[in-house]
Amino acid sequence: MSSGALVLFSGGQDSTACLAWALERYGRVETVGFDYGQRHAVELIARQAVRGRLARAFPDWAVKLGPDHMLDIRAFGAIAETAMTSERTIEMTDRGLPSTFVPGRNLVFLTYAAALADRRGLDVLVGGMCETDFSGYPDCRRDTLDAMQSALRLGLARDLMIETPLMWLTKAETWGLAKALGGEALVAITVEETHTCYTGERGILQAWGYGCGSCPACQLRQRGFESWVSDGRLDVPA
Ligand code: ZN
């Protein structure tokens, strides 16, 4: 029996699905976010809005939802500066990676999260990494995470697990997972409160949520939502 889970939580669609997944599965769930000098405070605001609405809409989850932790990793942000953290444009690099790729980001996140989880007595890390139709970030691959899990287990002498419930889901299926976990109430929270857009745009509420509608994150989110709707808003059980 697990002692509980720490969810890497950005306030986006994917990590919100992960948070719901963990709340359904574990008796104690805490969240961690990283301030690495993001351009947009809107992401930090979205985190609290999502946590608050989840707790109000799902009393069974509210009793399991523990504290939120925000870790300052701006020193890493300064090293890893890319379009995520500065004003550079979003494009493909000659390595075949989007310019939003922050080298080593998930490895750093997981190392910090593992240290925090150890201090908090939690033995599961939950992250929204996904290989299926994401942009090919090498640190989102399950192989990378398996290696990271081994390194953390050895280095912390703790039976830490890295769970990635979205790893093999399409973006459409991630909407279906949210519906399976929390019904249309969780879909509505995901649409209205989560933030995915790279530009920090909130603007007008679209069927799939807020965002500029043209950055890669918005396009992925919109296409996933529309595909899920055209397939009949099916549940995708965890
Ligand atoms: Zn956008």
Place of tokens 């699905």: 17
Res 227: pLDDT:
97
pLDDT exceeds 90 at position 104: no
Choose the weakest-confidence range: 56-70, 103-117, 124-138, 158-172.
Answer: 124-138
CA of 191 to the centre of ligand 1 (A): 14
CA of 222 to the centre of ligand 1 (A): 10
Q: pLDDT higher for 199 or 207?
A: 207
In order of start, what are the domains of the chain with their CATH numbers? Answer: 5-230 (3.40.50.620)
Q: How far apart are CA 153 and CA 159, in angstroms?
A: 6
CA of 33 to the centre of ligand 1 (A): 20
Res 91: pLDDT:
65
Choose the weakest-confidence range: 14-18, 25-29, 156-160, 210-214.
Answer: 210-214
CA of 111 to the centre of ligand 1 (A): 29
Which pTM does this prediction carry? 0.92
Looking at this protein, which amino acid is placed at residue 141? R
Looking at this protein, which amino acid is placed at residue 73? I
CA of 202 to the centre of ligand 1 (A): 9
CA of 216 to the centre of ligand 1 (A): 7
Res 217: pLDDT:
86
Q: How far apart are CA 84 and CA 36, in angstroms?
A: 10
The mean of the pLDDT values for the chain is 90
Q: Beta partners for 5? A: 29, 124
Q: Beta partners for 72? A: 35
Q: Beta partners for 65? A: 29
Res 232: pLDDT:
96
Res 134: pLDDT:
55
pLDDT band at residue 82 using 50, 70 and 90 as cut-offs: low
Q: How far apart are CA 115 and CA 123, in angstroms?
A: 11
Res 198: pLDDT:
82
CA of 133 to the centre of ligand 1 (A): 17
pLDDT band at residue 221 using 50, 70 and 90 as cut-offs: very high
pLDDT exceeds 90 at position 110: yes
Res 169: pLDDT:
95
Res 88: pLDDT:
54
CA of 210 to the centre of ligand 1 (A): 8
pLDDT band at residue 9 using 50, 70 and 90 as cut-offs: very high
Place of tokens 């390194």: 151
Q: Beta partners for 98? A: 92
Segment 163-189 mean pLDDT = 97
